[in-house]
Amino acid sequence: MNIEQIYTGCLAQGAYYIESEGEVAIIDPLREVKNYIAKAEDNNAKIKYIFETHFHADFVSGHITLSKFTGAPIVYGPTANPSFDAIIAEDNQVFKLGKITITALHTPGHTMESTTYLLKDENGKDHAIFSGDTLFLGDVGRPDLAQKAASMTMEDLAGLSFDSLRNKIMPLADDVTVYPGHGAGSACGKNMMKETVDTLGNQKQMNYALRADMTKAEFVKELTEDLLPPPKYFPLNVKMNKEGYEDIDKIIEKGTNALSPNAFEVTVNETDALVLDVRHQSEFIKGHIPRSIFIGLKGEFAPWVGALIADVKQPLLLVVDKGSEEEAITRLSRVGFDNTLGYLEGSFEAWKAEGKETDDLLSISADEFKQRLEKDTIPVFDVRNEGEFIAGHIENANFTPLGNLNAYLAEFSKNDTFYVHCAGGYRSVIAASILKSRGIHNLVDIAGGMAAIKKVGIPVSDFVCPSTLKK
């Protein structure tokens, strides 16, 4: 028996390759599936099943394409109703894979069809669970993302999650390995650990949602409080996972369309495409196409694209470093953004060489910012998330989190100079690009963010652990 976790950091997502006696199961595959097929072929094995733990909201799964190329059936848990052929497993239905078995445990709560897959070894001993978004390390899946009946509330779903955990998962032995669907950084939970594998016994000790003495009312309250609004692209990804999508190869072929600066400019004007600059923030600061939006490949690229652009059908034109075109298009397609029309051939250097209009972003060091701050009271906007802001911020800084920046646009003056920062310099440049695209140019980025601000000794508020505010 071989179990491999294939973890994708930018999505904080775990897919799984399981092999026994030449038979393979794939759980929650990414959209690009060639690596799974190649791995099976290299091992002289055949993909027998494709298991889906639920209809994912935060990424587009590769289940449909993988089934098309391999002939392996897609398996969902009870109550799933996809638009394509699939095995809808019954609760406790057993699937044989070589010398091992995989049992579908219906665990509704995160969604109604959510299913945990229990792997038993060749001796019939419980070995591992693949819990999808039912159970994370340190958390459980939020109950407000499902496409559910109008009569159901997220409190109802949270109650189902409580029952699923207590009746199906917590009775399992402590030495069972937990392989979750996501880790820290995913928007599908709020308190996930950075680790990606653990024992169930350790989770029973550390995970707030698995406390033995917890009442259902306490569970529902803790699970549903302080939930941030889900990213707007989530329902669109659910729809694609449930109804189908184009093969990624076609998306890549369409997107890898090299456009000269003139053709690029014409395409922008004719299609109302959004220019997405995915280079490093330092390059964007030095120069970029006016009104382009920066979201760099080197950060949490796909989730920020989904959260900030939201409409997966939005036409996109890319400014990208040479050689990274296919990577950018692939990562966009992972979250359903399939409408990339092409990229700027020769990148920004070619645009500049043609003498076309350019823009830049004023960015200063934390040391220079400190000097300015000591001379005068100046407006500062902190675009980190709430927990980061509460844990420590510059005195009198305005809290304007990047994920909800549009709601704060009225707070940014179009006349007086103001300063923007995040934790390390990535998110503040994203924010600055959005503001500049809205005609707000009187801003200054603080290079290095809060890490640099602290290093030069700028006073910040006393540390407050965000979790203590809930007690």
pLDDT (tens place) for every residue of the chain, 471 residues total: 999 999 988 888 999 999 999 999 999 999 999 999 999 999 999 999 999 999 999 999 999 999 999 999 999 999 999 999 999 999 999 999 999 999 999 999 999 999 999 999 999 999 999 999 999 999 999 898 776 555 788 999 999 999 999 999 999 999 999 999 988 777 777 778 889 999 999 999 999 999 999 999 999 999 998 888 888 899 999 999 999 999 999 999 999 999 999 999 999 999 989 999 999 999 999 999 999 999 999 988 998 999 999 899 999 999 999 999 999 999 999 999 999 999 999 999 999 999 999 999 999 999 999 999 999 889 999 999 988 999 999 999 999 999 989 889 999 988 899 999 999 999 999 999 999 999 999 999 999 999 999 999 999 987 665 444 443
**193 shares a domain with 56:** yes
Decide if 362 contacts 443 (C-beta within 8 A).
yes
**412 shares a domain with 267:** no
Which is nearest to 164 in space by CA: 131, 195, 190?
131
93 located within any domain: yes
Decide if 104 contacts 25 (C-beta within 8 A).
no
What per-residue confidence (pLDDT) applies to 465? 52
**282 shares a domain with 420:** no
**225 shares a domain with 90:** yes
Domain's final residue, options 330, 353, 376: 353
315 located within any domain: yes
Say how many C-beta atoms besides its own lie within 10 A of residue 413's C-beta.
Answer: 12
Q: Give CA–CA dist 269/273, Å, rounded.
A: 8
DSSP β-ladder status, 2-8 and 13-20: antiparallel
241 located within any domain: no
Say how many C-beta atoms besides its own lie within 10 A of residue 362's C-beta.
Answer: 13
358 located within any domain: no
What per-residue confidence (pLDDT) applies to 468? 45
**216 shares a domain with 71:** yes
* Structural domain boundaries enclosing 425: 363-470
Q: Number of structural domains, the chain?
A: 3
What per-residue confidence (pLDDT) applies to 145? 79
- What is the domain-level CATH number for residue 143? 3.60.15.10
59 located within any domain: yes
Q: In terms of residues, how long is the chain?
A: 471
Which is nearest to 296 in space by CA: 334, 264, 325, 328?
328
pLDDT tens digits, residue range 251-294? Answer: 999 999 999 999 999 999 999 899 999 999 999 999 999 999 99
Residue that has been written with the tokens 């497993």 in this structure = 89
**382 shares a domain with 338:** no
What per-residue confidence (pLDDT) applies to 147? 61
- What is the domain-level CATH number for residue 324? 3.40.250.10
**406 shares a domain with 320:** no
Which is nearest to 79 in space by CA: 23, 12, 146, 27?
146
Domain's final residue, options 353, 378, 407: 353
317 located within any domain: yes
Say how many C-beta atoms besides its own lie within 10 A of residue 244's C-beta.
Answer: 13
DSSP β-ladder status, 126-132 and 87-88: unpaired
**190 shares a domain with 44:** yes
What torsion do the CA atoms of 177, 30, 52, 131 make, to the nearest 10 degrees? Answer: 20
φ, ψ for residue 3, nearest 5 deg: -120, 125
379 located within any domain: yes
Domain's final residue, options 215, 236, 257: 236
**62 shares a domain with 37:** yes
Half-sphere exposure of 348 (CA within 13 A, CB side): 24
pLDDT tens digits, residue range 384-417? Answer: 998 899 999 999 999 999 998 988 999 998 889 9
What per-residue confidence (pLDDT) applies to 187? 72
What per-residue confidence (pLDDT) applies to 470? 43
**442 shares a domain with 383:** yes
What per-residue confidence (pLDDT) applies to 414? 83
Which is nearest to 248 in space by CA: 56, 71, 25, 59?
59
**220 shares a domain with 78:** yes
68 located within any domain: yes
**160 shares a domain with 39:** yes
Q: Give CA–CA dist 446/285, Å, rounded.
A: 11
Exposed, middle or buried by CB within 10 Å (0-12, 13-18, 19+), for 419?
buried
What per-residue confidence (pLDDT) applies to 226? 82
